[in-house]
Amino acid sequence: MAEYRWNQSELAAGYNVGATLVHPHYVEMQDAILAEMAGAGATDGLVVDLGGGSGRLIERVLDRWPDTTALIVDQSQAFLDLAASRLERFGERTSFVFRRLQEDWRGVVTQPAAAIVSMSAIHHLDPDEKQQCYQRCFDSLRPGGVLLNGDEVRAELDDVYREQVECWAEHMQTLIESEAVTPAMAEALRGWRKQNVEEFGGSRVSGDDCHETSDSQLGYFAQAGFEQTSVPWRRELWALLKGVRVGSVDSSC
Ligand SMILES: C[S@@+](CC[C@H](N)C(=O)[O-])C[C@H]1O[C@@H](n2cnc3c(N)ncnc32)[C@H](O)[C@@H]1O
């Protein structure tokens, strides 16, 4: 079986340096997550980043709010190594767990979290896995805690969705041709184009780009118990999905 693409160290290094080029709204989406955390009062306590990669978002969280600690959960040791190096200056405020989001990761969250954040990772889960993951998020948050998933989402209308993936693929092609990204990153971008443009509408399995609409996913949020669900930010293929855990913590979790 081919190795899952995000596990290759050259790709992790390539994404680490090229994220803001590859993702046209990378910083803006991070800004939106930080703004929502501030609005929800999630500026102290534990912040969990699911698929947190090389720790770029958590670095901003820890710099901004000294009363936070952070846990990054990721299935790529290559990404986690980069995160450990980036966040070394924060010492014991950080921890890292090697885990697939398809698994039950609740046991590694040692205290109810103030916020669970994620960027560009959860769309790799198939629909059932997303629902389970969002349930685990709900179970792991403190009362008032917030889930913020900034991710690739499918537009309601097929032709709009197609236009959005084609637009991003064109952007990727420009990066490849101008050699603005590393060879490993260029290879991954070609793979993204094949799956999402050339094979548009094809079947998807866990690990692929399992794009789902905001409405479907906010439905999963509600099923998990989240309230105040909304999409506070959206740009082209990307949206920030928000849900709040209102109420008391279930002591069995
Ligand atoms: C595009 S990178 C984004 C990294 C980081 N969130 C950021 O925005 O810079 C995708 C990340 O999700 C992680 N990831 C993908 N699928 C995953 C899964 N099933 N379980 C855990 N992590 C996953 C990858 O290892 C990688 O770190």
CATH of the domain at 213: 3.40.50.150
Full residue range of the structural domain in which residue 193 is found = 158-198
What are the phi and psi torsion angles at 43 (to 5°)?
A: -115, 10
Q: Is residue 194 located within the same domain as residue 218?
A: no
If one residue of 72, 117, 124, 126 were mutated to test the ligand 1 pocket, choosing by the most ligand atoms within 8 A of its CB, it would be: 124
Q: Is the CB of 238 within 6 Å of ligand 1?
A: no
In contact, 246 and 142? CB cutoff 8 Å: no
Give the start-end residues of each E strand in the chain.
45-50, 68-74, 94-98, 113-119, 141-152, 227-235, 238-244
Averaged pLDDT for residues 239-249: 89
Helix, strand or coil, per DSSP, at residue 47 = strand
Please state, in angstroms and rounded to a whole number, the distance separating the CA atoms of residues 15 and 85: 15
253 located within any domain: no
250 located within any domain: no
**Six token digits for residue 188:** 């991954």
**Ligand 1, atom 23: nearest CA belongs to which residue?**
51
Q: Is residue 43 located within the same domain as residue 26?
A: yes
Q: How far is the CA of 226 from the centre of ligand 1 (A)?
A: 23
96 located within any domain: yes
Averaged pLDDT for residues 26-41: 98
pLDDT at 22: 97
Q: Is residue 94 located within the same domain as residue 134?
A: yes
Q: What is the pLDDT of residues 74-129, one digit of tens each?
A: 999 999 999 999 999 999 999 999 999 999 999 999 999 999 999 999 999 999 99
If one residue of 6, 21, 105 were mutated to test the ligand 1 pocket, choosing by the most ligand atoms within 8 A of its CB, it would be: 6
If one residue of 27, 31, 74 were mutated to test the ligand 1 pocket, choosing by the most ligand atoms within 8 A of its CB, it would be: 74
Report whether pLDDT(5) > 60: yes
CB burial class (10 A; 0-12, 13-18, 19+) of residue 234?
Answer: middle
pLDDT at 252: 47
Q: What is the pLDDT of residues 72-89, one digit of tens each?
A: 999 999 999 999 999 999
Max CA-CA distance within the chain?
A: 54
Helix, strand or coil, per DSSP, at residue 224 = helix
Count of domains observed in the chain:
2
Which residues in 167-202 are b (16+ Cβ under 10 Å) and which e? ebbeebeebbeeeebbebbbbbbeebbeebeeeeee
- 11, HSE (Cβ side, Cα atoms, 13 Å): 15
179 located within any domain: yes
**Ligand 1, atom 27: nearest CA belongs to which residue?**
53
Q: Is residue 119 located within the same domain as residue 45?
A: yes
Question: Length of the chain in residues, anyone?
Answer: 253
Q: Is the CB of 52 within 6 Å of ligand 1?
A: yes
